[in-house]
Amino acid sequence: MTQRFTGTENYVATDDLKVAVNAAVTLRRPLLVKGEPGTGKTVLAHEIAKAIGAPLIEWGVKSTTKAQQGLYEYDAVARLRDGQLGDERVHDISNYIRKGKLWEAFTSPELPVLLIDEIDKADIEFPNDLLQELDRMEFDVYETGERIAARERPIVVITSNNEKELPDAFLRRCFFHYIKFPDDETMRAIIDVHFPDIQKRLVTQALEIFYELRGVPGLKKKPSTSELLDWLKLLLVEDTPVEVLQNRDPTKAIPPLHGALLKNEADVMLLERLAFMARRENR
């Protein structure tokens, strides 16, 4: 490996994250990243690709995704149709084989970064089905008898939201990193990276409101880093004066432009109720 990953100008990486990324990049083992939604798991893969100047191949996993789809798909129905229509293409089976993302990554002319996003969304057997392929970085195409092997082991980043437990055998092959929610200091660094000229006081006030909001018990969906960044962007665009954030009285618990922070009408209701109670106490 020519260079070490040290975060980029757009991404603040903590020390432990750097070590995990460098280990995964050097040894070419998959890096499994877990963490609360919105802490920058997916962005990490983008940034690694950017940092080492490699193309990024994204494979977004859904609940219906099968491991085979990552390798290749054989479109038997299309071939059957062509057979009925007497199309010439029907004689070559490889016409009906569609390459998957893994295939793409293995045969990419440049060393790519392969992102397998939200692996826990898929069926519980999904990771097991990819064991061999990720371990040996090769697979067979049964229809043509071809063997697809990676020219160079791609850098694989896998993200998980922890909806399902991953099998042991799969985990053993990965490096693991848990992105914990950034503390105040890291958060400031992150904001600095995204909004370099934002007023210091605005950030202080906004962060205060943000952490307070995260601390409200009973919120269905706690706002996370990506929501904070969106909110700050809105505050900037709207040119909100610091005073608006500062002069908060407890009877108005809802922060300005709260739509960016709270994504659940029940949460907004909860805050309104809290504000109502605060008003009643003041009376």
Partner 1 sequence: MLLNFLDELRGAGIRASLKEHLTLLEALDSDVIERRPEDFYYLARATYVKDEGLLDRFDEVFHKVFHGVFSDLGEDQATIPEEWLRAVTEKFLSDEERAAIEQLGDWDEIMETLKKRLEEQEGRHEGGNKWIGTGGTSPFGHSGYNPAGVRIGGESRNRRAIKVWEKREFANLDSSKELGTRNIKVALRRLRRFAREGAADELDLDATIRGTAKQGWLDIRMRPERHNAVKLLLFLDVGGSMDDHAKATEELFSAATSEFKNMEFFYFHNCLYESVWKDNSRRWSERIPTWDILHKYGHDYKIVFVGDAAMSPYEIAWPGGSVEHMNEEAGEVWLQRVVDTYPAVAWLNPNAQRGWQYTQSTQMIRQIMSDRMFPLTLDGLDDAMRSLTRKQG
Binding mask 57-86 for partner 1 (x = CB under 8 A): ------xx------------x--x------
The nearer residue to partner 1, 29 or 233, going by C-beta atoms, is 29
Pick one of 52, 78, 131, 171: the residue that binds partner 1 (CB under 8 A): 171
177 sits near partner 1 (criterion: CB under 8 A): yes
Q: How many CB atoms lie within 10 A of CB 99?
A: 15
The nearest distance, CB 132 to partner 1, in angstroms, is 15
* DSSP per residue, 156-208: EEEEE-SSSPPPHHHHHTSEEEEEPPP-HHHHHHHHHHH-TTS-HHHHHHHHH
CA angle 119, 28, 40 (to 5 degrees): 45
The minimum distance between CB 40 and partner 1, in angstroms, equals 16
State the number of CA atoms in the 13 A half-sphere of 199 facing the CB: 12
266 lies in the site for partner 1, by CB under 8 A: no
Report the Cα 172 to chain-centroid distance in Å.
21
Instruction: State the minimum distance, in angstroms, from the CB of residue 146 to partner 1.
Output: 25
Q: Establish if 181 lies at the interface with partner 1 (CB under 8 A).
A: no
Size of the site for partner 1 (CB under 8 A): 31
- Footprint (CB under 8 A) of partner 1, residues 196-255: 217-218
Tell me if 45 contacts partner 1 by CB under 8 A: no
CB 198, min distance to partner 1, A: 28
Read off the amino acid at residue 230: D
Establish if 52 lies at the interface with partner 1 (CB under 8 A). no
Q: Which stretch binds partner 1 (CB under 8 A): 49-57, 158-166, 186-194, 250-258?
A: 158-166
Q: Interface with partner 1 includes 195 (CB under 8 A)?
A: no
Residue by residue, DSSP assigns 68-103 as HHHHEEE-HHHHHHHHHHT-GGGG-GGGGEEE-HHH
Q: Which is nearer to partner 1, 96 or 231 (CB)?
A: 96
Q: Does 173 bind partner 1 (CB under 8 A)?
A: yes
Phi, psi of 34 (to 5 degrees): -120, 165
90 sits in the region (left: phi over 0; alpha: psi -120 to 50; else beta) called alpha
Of 22, 128, 161, 186, which lies in the binding site for partner 1, with binding defined by CB under 8 A? Answer: 22
- Which residues, 6+ apart, have CB-to-CB distance to 263 below 8 Å? 221, 227
Give the Å distances, CA to CA, from 103 to 59, 71, 154: 11, 5, 11
Question: Which of 11, 96, 175, 231 touches partner 1 by CB under 8 A?
Answer: 175
User: What does 108-167 look like in DSSP terms, one character per residue?
Assistant: -SSPPEEEEE-GGGS-TTHHHHTHHHHHHSEEEETTTTEEEE-SSPPEEEEEE-SSSPPP
CB of 28 to partner 1, least distance (A): 10
Applying CB under 8 A, the residues found at the interface with partner 1 are 15-16, 19-20, 22-24, 26-27, 29, 32, 34, 63-64, 77, 80, 162, 165-166, 168, 171-178, 180, 217-218
